[in-house]
Structure 1
């Protein structure tokens, strides 16, 4: 059996395939591809039982064509240098595609967070942060972490507190990390941002005649059969928004197994069932599938892998029946799976921009922290008062009154979450259209992933070129 490429090698393989469609010299392409700075850490942890353990951790700054670098921190037993380098590279390309002015970074701590107490996790997070500060690998204008697999708002609050304790009086210090609780400078809408961004991206593809004609489906997401692999934060919110806009989530998979219902599943009810029983299996009204992987091979219109990398590979790609695959996770398809599925005519919406909702809303949070004002605070009441005046004038002129529900909708001034959703929708729609335009511009470009890489390479290459680093 052929030796499998590493995750970072897979990312570079996709990069190389796309770079032939760009104008940049080989030297610049090598610079864009390289991971600029890799920090490998080892530090001791005193466990609650008094024993000592050495913790392995990483932070990678993939590119410095812009600052700060940006990328999440994951807690996982699978963390290694290759994985963190690959994820940092994807962040560089992701930020470029969605026009967020960051370079790519990523961090990881090699632990299973379920095996540590809250106090131990706090000690690990704070020590990791202090090491990043000492090495100048964190700061509002240097490198800005965020949540990732195994981390959340709690860990980001610990990072912020540690950073501020070592940088007292820094007025913009809250911008050193994103994904924080709202009370600590976080932004409303961050929790659901990645899942909502996945929905916006897939919806825009489904609203494109050329793509839907290619796969033989009608326009729009309404009525489409969707399968979600992974019921974590991203999978849960992806399912929620697909269901809310008329799609049917016919199957959900988790590591313990998968369930199927032709009538559609309610992700909130499935989540409650799992919390109560410890498993999604035996959900009332649903059928258990033989395995978690069986969901990937079940008949559907749209498949959303929202868990770990390489779940679709050369061993199972030929059995995947979905017509559209939206990569909500990082690297859920291997290059070998790409080739098999492209040959079958499947449209793959690539991870490198589809799951950019998190970093897009993190950018909004970063801007909020630098401006020191909540979105909507300055204009909400003005907009509401203006809308009331306009509505009153229209009612006087027509002699008709609108219903109370219509009145509330028309008069409403945008809250922070409304503006965040609007900015995210604009970002994902614009990025999707730009990628599709590149894909349609050249028949030799084989797929949407290659088109996305072309967009990213051209934007990063232009940044380097304008800096005059490669005259």
Structure 2
């Protein structure tokens, strides 16, 4: 049997992978089995089929919306457009959203949606028809609303689709003063928040950067503290992978390889991410990038020498057949479920540090939370404090210049005087969230002597969900 066929034969149910990780964490908790089963279960699965006229034909579209947990409302999660969408995948992603939100103290239950279409071959006009019809179906069953269920972009969707969802919701909910908060990931002109597009990739960067500051952890894998000079490989150059690569490059890390579906490129001296993107737009592929080596099998790029590996594309790309060949000392799960449970065990025995997806890629939902709050408050971030901060800084600089009898250079003065913009506040909030989340997981791992960060993250998440249920008075 070939390795490719072996991988297919060993394919996991995505949902069962999450349950295995959940069960590992449950061993560290003295919680009644029934309550654990409630937390694991999806509360509501809405599978729908609806007709849409495409050209002269009527096509029946298959779609889903899953609400995994109602321990906090609204539910929150993206909508993906993919021909591979299925119920198992959507249920799993909804469960991951529940755990992510709990870890980073975002007060949402987890949800996820999906429409089974290929957005690459469906026209924009027909995607709009499908999106609007899907939204109306959600409204009929009370599966969308600012306090009920708030969708967001995911694979195959973006600002355009979110604006159609908002517009459809608004037209069918006249007088809803908080209608803007029915969906996040909108264009800024329609109530979106600055910094949302790069949020997940930036969150990945903040999480790995915080790990690399920890002397104890770096000693355990034989690396120096800090990101500067670390060799990084990133699989996937979508929204998450591209922004993560950009931030790592700006921090002094060396991007030695980038992998996409058609293959990968490698240069031990480092790749300039911006130039690779320009090459991709020009040629339609990252392959044949100047001064780089092509790697035909994209999976082989995961096995190259590096310090940090960032799988930012698909689930289950690191499995029992290639885990022993992974040379990275740190794996940051920017994608959902890129490491199977069996690979997790193999890599753990090798001493590889894995920063889990339920923490590391929570940057998107964190900034979605900021957008939701902005929509509910009906005021732009920075509007009330920006001018006040600038005035206070002006007075402070005048005191300093008078005391020191020295003028501060104009460029430096401009930088100090500037009050916080919306994007500054959003990024500051995201950075604080990711740093605090990492230390909560790390501290719990050490205090309970848990085997790895993933299990500690699940333990932290379950504890927070239990606490929410107890406050609601649902369980004794």
TM range (shorter): over 0.9
**Structure 1 residues without counterparts, runs of 5 or longer:** none
Q: In 2, Cα distance between the equivalents of 1:198 and 1:406?
A: 31
Residue 409 of structure 1 corresponds to which residue in structure 2? 415
SS, match of residue 94 in structure 1: helix
Instruction: Provide the rounded CA distance (Å) in 2 between the counterparts of 1:327 and 1:408.
Output: 39
Structure-1 separation of matches of 2:104 and 2:75: 15
Partner of residue 210 from structure 2, selected from 198, 201, 204: 204
CA root-mean-square deviation: 0.9
Offset of 1:136 from its aligned partner?
0.4
Question: What is the CA–CA distance in structure 1 between the aligned matches of 2:219 and 2:396, rounded to whole Å?
Answer: 43
Residue 3 of structure 2 corresponds to which residue in structure 1?
A: none
Which residue of 2 is the match for residue 92 of structure 1? 98
Q: Which residue matches 1:460? A: 465
In structure 2, the partner of 1:449 is 454
Name 1:268's counterpart in structure 2.
274
Counterpart secondary structure, 1:111: coil
Q: Kindly state the Cα deviation for residue 405 of structure 1 after the two structures are TM-superposed.
A: 2.5
1:469 maps to 2:474: yes
Cα distance per residue 1:328-375 (max 9 Å; x no partner): 011111101101111110000000010000000000000000000000
Please give the alpha-carbon distance, in whole angstroms, between the structure 2 residues aligned to 1:321 and 1:431: 27
Match of 1:18 among 18, 25, 50: 25
8 A contact 2:181–2:376 mirrored in 1: yes
Deviation track 1:413-460 (CA, whole Å, cap 9, x = no partner) reads 0000000000000000000000000111133x2111000000000000
Q: Report the Cα distance in structure 1 between the residues aligned to 2:38 and 2:398, rounded to whole angstroms.
A: 60
CA gap 1:295/1:3 in 2 versus in 1, 3 angstroms: closer
Deviation at 1:3, TM superposition (A): 4.9
Q: Which residue of 2 aligns with 1:332?
A: 338
Distance 2:57 2:325 in 1: 48
Deviations 1:228-270 (A, max 9, x none): 1000000000001001111111110000110011221121211
CA deviation map 1:180-216 (0-9, x unaligned): 0000000000000000000000000111112111111
C-alpha deviations, 1:62-117, integer Å up to 9, x for none? 00000000000000111100000000000000000000000000001111100100
Q: CA deviation at 1:5?
A: 2.9
**Which of 9, 30, 33 is the aligned partner of 2:16?**
9
Cα distance in 2 for residues equivalent to 1:292 and 1:265: 16
Give the whole-Å Cα distance in 2 for the aligned partners of 1:5 and 1:357. 26
User: Cα distance, 1:24 vs. partner?
Assistant: 1.5
The C-alpha deviation readout for 1:267-293, integer Å capped at 9, x for no partner, is: 121111111101000001111123211
Q: Cα deviations across residues 154-203 of structure 1 (Å, max 9, x unaligned)?
A: 00000000000000121100000000000000000000000000000000
Q: Distance in 2 between matches of 1:298 and 1:441?
A: 35
Correspondence 1:142 to 2:148: yes
Q: Counterparts of 1:331 and 1:116 in 2: how far apart (Å)?
A: 28
Q: Is the 8 A contact 2:145 2:181 kept in 1?
A: yes
Local SS of the residue matching 2:120: helix
CA distance in 1, matches of 2:385, 2:467: 36
Say if 2:44 is the partner of 1:37. yes
Separation (CA, whole Å) in 2 of partners of 1:107 and 1:334: 23
| Pick aligned residue for 1:295 from 295, 301, 309 | 301
Distance in 1 between residues matched to 2:285 and 2:133, nearest whole Å: 34
- Aligned to 2:321, the other structure's residue is in SS state coil
Distance in 1 between the 2:22 and 2:127 partners?
36
- How many Å apart are 1:324 and its aligned residue? 0.3
Number of paired residues?
Answer: 469
* Gap runs ≥5 in structure 2: 1-5
DSSP 3-state at the match of 1:115: coil
Pick the aligned partner of 1:57 from 52, 59, 63. Answer: 63
Change over 3 Å in CA distance of 1:427–1:323 after alignment to 2: same
Which residue of structure 1 aligns with residue 89 of structure 2? 83
**Which residues in structure 2 correspond to 1:114-193 (within 5 Å)?**
114-193=120-199
Point out the more displaced range, 401-410 or 242-251: 401-410
User: Any conservation in 1 of the 2:262–2:296 contact (CA below 8 Å)?
Assistant: no
Whole-Å separation in 2 of the counterparts to 1:408 and 1:306: 38
1:321, distance to aligned residue in structure 2 (A):
0.6
